[in-house]
Amino acid sequence: MYSVAIEDYLKSLWKLGPKDVGTQELASHLDIKPASVTKMVHRLTEMGLVDHTPYQGASLTRKGELEALSVVRRHRLLETFLSQTLGLGREQLHVEAERLEHALSKELEASIAEYLGNPTRDPHGHPIPSPNGELYDETDLPLSDSPINMTLTVMQVPDNDSNILSWLENNGIHPGIKLKIISRDDFDGGLNVIIGNSKIRISSSIASLVKISFEE
């Protein structure tokens, strides 16, 4: 296993990729000074984890991608474990899993996966990479781009903003729930949605973070 700092960089590059990620973007994502990012990217390049092109940015090599996916797997398994065994709310899971993901051994990771029945999605609906670093082909679509007057199933909600998660939970929006868009505002793209017997309005910014599936 690599250091906490290296794992955080690799995971951030994976989340921001697969495009080349510039120094400023990566620094902003990690809340680290650009000069420190430049040094670490150079180090990761020497380690064969990152490809870096001056003035364009950095991207993960296959070796770096596999390491990033290993961290993502541990994180999402931990979220699932904390949800199912301790009953933590979705808005609590991300922060706790961030603290624990770097300390999880391969043996404990395998035991947790087996105990949970080898889940393929975490409580936010995000796909869990396989032990070999594979992700199934994702067909979920943003709610903001979804058709009107069709029954939609929520598949994913964001995991790293507790305020948005709390708002979604309070309005009954979570993975597995069915809803229908009845209209879309021309001015700002906000959605008027029916969930059960309730009608709510979802801003376009939040709707872009929720992913759904629908049947033709």
Task: Specify if 25 maps to a domain.
Answer: yes
Task: Specify if 185 maps to a domain.
Answer: yes
How high is the pLDDT of residue 48?
Answer: 97
Alpha carbons 176 and 178: distance in angstroms, whole number: 7
User: Which pLDDT tens digit goes with each residue over 34-87?
Assistant: 999 999 999 999 999 999 998 889 999 999 999 999 999 999 999 999 999 999
Percent of the residues in the chain that have a pLDDT greater than 90, as a whole number? 88
Task: Specify if 175 maps to a domain.
Answer: yes
pLDDT band at 216 (very low <50, low <70, confident <90, very high): low
Task: Specify if 99 maps to a domain.
Answer: no
CA angle 145, 148, 151 (to 5 degrees): 100
Task: Specify if 72 maps to a domain.
Answer: no
Q: Around Cβ 198, how many Cβ atoms within 10 Å? A: 10
Q: How many domains does the chain have?
A: 2
Q: State which residues form the domain around 172.
A: 141-214
User: What are the backbone dihedrals phi and psi of residue 53, each rounded to the nearest 5 degrees, phi first?
Assistant: -115, 120
Which candidate, 181, 176, 174, 177, places its Cα nearest to that of 150? 181
Task: Specify if 85 maps to a domain.
Answer: no
Looking at 36, 60, 84, which one is the last position of a domain? 60
Alpha carbons 112 and 80: distance in angstroms, whole number: 9
Predicted TM-score (pTM) of the model is 0.91
CB 173 within 8 A of CB 90: no
CATH code (residue 39): 1.10.10.10
Residues 6+ apart with CB under 8 A from 89: 165, 169
Which candidate, 175, 184, 179, places its Cα nearest to that of 203? 184
Tokens of 67: 């390491």
Looking at 60, 91, 107, which one is the last position of a domain? 60
User: Which pLDDT tens digit goes with each residue over 77-119?
Assistant: 999 999 999 999 999 999 999 999 999 999 999 999 999 999 9
CATH code (residue 148): 2.30.30.90
Task: Specify if 130 maps to a domain.
Answer: no
Q: Within 13 Å, how many C-alpha atoms sit on residue 57's CB side?
A: 15
CB 211 within 8 A of CB 141: yes
